[in-house]
Chains A and B, each alone.
Chain A
Amino acid sequence: MQSNFPSPRLALWMAMVAAWPLQGLAAAGRVQFATGEVQLRRGADASAAVKGTEVENGDVILTGAAGRAQIRFSDGGLVALYPDSQFTVTRYADAGNPAQDHFAVNLLRGGMRAITGLIGKRDPRNYKVTTPTAVVGIRGSAFLIGFNAQGELVVSGEQDEIEVCTEAGCVGVKAGESVRVVSSSQLPLYTHTRALLPLPPPPVPFAVGEQIDGGARQAPAPTAPTPVPPPPTPTPPAPTPSVPVPAPDPYNPPYIPPPPPPTTGTGTTPTAPPTTTTRPPVTTTPTTPPVTTAPTPTTPPVTRPPIVTLPPIVRPIILLPPVPVPPPPPIIR
């Protein structure tokens, strides 16, 4: 059967020519929400943009002082325009093919929040937002761009990562981060806060066991002499200690005894501690109780001297008796 067409190639060419205008004129997107003053300029024409208005390549959308608009593009991407914005669809092509896709828009003033669609997902390099001072590319899917009161561009990442480039180079902006573009010749400046965890503090400086000075009024440290029950016989020399008991012990210098406590009021006050640092008193002779005070022989020894008797403490504070360290165990092989 012979075709009526002069040639199949011509038929194909005619079909392509017929289809091309349809593709070229297909709307890039559609206004899905508008409030306040929102204007769409197409060439020399200007009209109010309302819900359902189609947006095409080259269209300029302007929002007034209270105007807001949301545009849904054919690839599923969204752009929300904020008050006093000027937004241009420079080049949009949703060809379904990364080699032919384009999402190039221009934000001259105001602000916009964008959520990328399939064009950006297919190839992030095809997605560009151009401003007077920087170009915003994406590797992610949501970001906010706006001009601050000084006219500087501020870009914030909301999901994944975007890339903000100036003539000086590019910086990455992830979710929760933001940059300010000071000028087109400088790198964008990060603006988000950077938190720090406080450092571990040094030990408490006045812990009792570490307090080796301080003055009597603080009296923070002393481990005072304990009136140890006197041994029945003089204590023999201690066995060889396995620990370095103070020879020149910088940690426990000679103990300075407190002045004798009052001798009235009780018959059980121990005598003043010895002036040596190596052992407690060998014997203790109780003072004779005053006649006017009933003796209290069963009262246990006072374990601390009265606070008023505390000497100026110079160091910890310890009366050093022989350290009863047991001899080392035999070596077992």
Chain B
Amino acid sequence: MSVPSWSRRVRRLALVPLVALAPWVPAYADELLDQATALVQRGDAQQAFQLLDAQESTRAGDPAFDEAMGRAAHAAGQYSRAILAWERVVAAQPGNAAAAWELGRALHAVGDKQGANAVSERVRAAGIPVDAALSIDQFLVSYDRGDHDGRSTWKGHVELTLGRDSNVNAGPGLNAPDLSPPGTPPWALAPGAEAQRASYAAVLGNVRGRHVLDTRWSVIGAATAEVRGHSRAGDAYDSSQLDANLGLAYRVERNEWMLSAQGATYRMDGDTLRNIGGVLAEWIYRIDGFRQWDSFLQVQELRYPTQSLRDARRTVGGTSYVHILRNGSLFYAGFYAGQEKPRAAGVDNLGHDLAGLRGGVQWAISADWAAFTHLNYERRHYGAVDPFFGVTRRDRQAYWALGLSWIPAPGWRITPQWMVTRNSSTLPITDYDRRVLSVTVRREF
């Protein structure tokens, strides 16, 4: 059947305005998106977001527009809007791994880990890992598993650490006698008492969890065991350690209170060197899902089975603030203070007051790499003049850790780090430096 000539003419005429307008539409679109992109690059993401928001109802579903909207919304802190935009891109272009990665990033930003993990599986399949570099349990511990939805759960990890320790025994340097305070008697270190340098290997296992009794009460607990062996120079310091705690938690709205019994034993070279028993009370106040205050009071009885003079009660209280940023980075800071009071009479020189500051930062460099640093400064003021040196011991201890965290595969973490301890003491035999370089391989389950 032939088409009438008038019909063909009408069709041609109908195409004229479309052809004429066609160049204008993409030009307009490009202009809008270019303008929004430029605004984002200039740091004015909010204006870019508002510019695109006005057009969203008509242009939603256009992947180019939605990508621009997703970027502008994320940069402007409108993470939920970014999610909606990236979901449209991914729906239109299921193979767009970059968009899926951006969607995962936005989901992480609002704390939707379940959604982010669902995205990450697809993205991993495309070769782009999106495992968050953030791991609460690397520096901050928790009883809860992220995907447990508030149910009873337990989790754990095992670690293998290889390292080199410049001072396994926390001994003074070889030139320590030179540091002897004026007026103190002459003395010298015996062999083996000075700083011992050694390589070491350590294996650690940890389990912890929460058993939910009802919407407010739960039983919490954790146990950690570690065995550490050194090369020949430090084999006298081969040690094993066991820590455990068990308690109750009560949470209402923004607050959670926890009361736990704690126990620990430390063995060195086959002998029990120290046992600890105590009570820990903690109060967590959640400002929101990304910020919190954590305050604690810890009372411990320290027992040295072969050195009963060192037995002491240690009481420490403190508070800290933790802030997890939307990009997966986090920082924390806090202070604490307390005292260690010997049980025996006449040994006040072994007891001390202490006060410390600590803080740390973790930067999410990429999806699976993070850098971190941790600082701790503690002052200890002992209770009496040391009977030998004739001075009162005062310590100022600084600890600094710097490292990287790499997640090569889900559930695995490799952490090379450099740790430096400097204890500046008025007693030369407690004045020491310690540097440890280590690599830890961790498997979480």
Contact residues of A with B, CB < 8 Å?
30, 32-33, 35-36, 51, 68, 70, 72, 78, 80, 113, 115, 142, 144, 148, 152, 154, 156-159, 161, 171-172, 174-180, 182, 186-200, 202-215, 217-226, 228, 241-246, 248-252, 303-307, 310, 316-326
Contact = CB atoms under 8 A, between A and B. Distances in A.
B365 interface: no
Given A144-B110, A210-B430, A318-B388, 6 more contacts: A156-B111, A195-B294, A197-B334, A208-B189, A223-B429, A307-B192
A145 B318 CA distance: 37
B298 A115 contact: no
A35 B256 contact: no
Nearest to A174: B288
B142 A200 contact: no
Task: Specify the main secondary structure of chain B where it touches its partner.
Answer: mixed
Nearest to B266: A205
B56 A199 contact: no
Contacts of A248: 346
Nearest to B306: A213
Interface stretch (B22-30, B39-47, B308-316): B308-316
A128 to B, nearest CB: 19
A158 B358 CA distance: 30
B242 interface: no
A220 B171 contact: yes
Interface stretch (B6-14, B273-281, B410-418, B435-443): B273-281
B388 A325 contact: no
Q: Which 10 A-B pairs have the closest CB atoms?
A: A176-B289, A222-B190, A224-B190, A219-B192, A209-B430, A174-B288, A191-B150, A176-B111, A195-B140, A142-B80
Contacts of A226: 177, 186-188
A80 B87 contact: yes
B183 A200 contact: no
A171 B253 contact: yes
B432 interface: yes
B358 A200 contact: yes
Contacts of B290: 175-176
Interface in B215-254: 215-216, 236-237, 251, 253-254
A297 B131 CA distance: 70
A319 B111 CA distance: 62
16 contacts: A113-B84, A189-B150, A194-B142, A195-B292, A197-B139, A199-B316, A200-B356, A218-B236, A224-B191, A226-B186, A244-B387, A248-B346, A250-B344, A251-B388, A310-B191, A324-B185
Which of B150, B307, B320, B336 is most buried by chain A, counting CB atoms within 10 A of its CB? B150
A209 B60 contact: no
A72 B298 CA distance: 53
A30 B289 CA distance: 33
Q: Which of B214, B268, B425, B429 has the most CB of A within 10 A?
A: B429
B110 A158 contact: yes
B69 to A, nearest CB: 11
Contacts of A219: 190-193, 236
A215 B271 CA distance: 10
Nearest to A253: B309
A222 B386 CA distance: 16
A310 B191 CA distance: 8
A192 B256 CA distance: 12
A319 B376 CA distance: 35
Interface in B76-108: 79-81, 83-84, 87-88, 91-92
Nearest to B342: A250
A204 B141 contact: no
Nearest to A228: B186
A127 to B, nearest CB: 15
A194 B332 CA distance: 14
Nearest to B393: A209
A197 B304 CA distance: 27
A265 B92 CA distance: 89
Majority-rule SS of A interface residues: loop
B320 A320 contact: no
B349 interface: yes
Contact of A218 (B215, B269, B425): B269
A305 B190 contact: yes
Nearest to A313: B190
Contacts of B356: 200
B258 to A, nearest CB: 9
A51 B60 contact: yes
Most buried by B among A220, A225, A252: A220
A251 B387 contact: yes
Given A51-B60, A244-B384, A250-B347, A197 B150 contact: no
A241 B316 CA distance: 35
Nearest to B319: A197
Given A179-B150, A191-B149, A304 B191 contact: yes
Contacts of B427: 209
B110 A156 contact: yes
Contacts of A252: 387-388
A284 B318 CA distance: 55
Q: Which of B187, B294, B314 has the most CB of A within 10 A?
A: B187
Contacts of B349: 251
A206 B292 contact: no
Given A175-B289, A182-B215, A208 B171 contact: yes
A211 B84 CA distance: 62
A148 B149 contact: yes
Contact of B79 (A159, A187, A188, A326): A159
Nearest to A148: B149
Contact of A174 (B170, B215, B289): B289
A208 B169 contact: yes
B300 to A, nearest CB: 7
A226 B188 CA distance: 5
A195 B393 CA distance: 36
Contacts of B184: 323
B263 to A, nearest CB: 13
A33 B169 CA distance: 66
Nearest to B352: A203
A32 B57 contact: yes
Interface string B333-371: 010100010001011011000001010000000000000
Contacts of A182: 215
A177 B390 contact: no
A190 B274 contact: no
Nearest to B354: A200
Given A148-B149, A186-B215, A192-B111, A217 B269 contact: yes
B141 A198 contact: yes
A180 B273 CA distance: 46
Contacts of B61: 32-33, 51
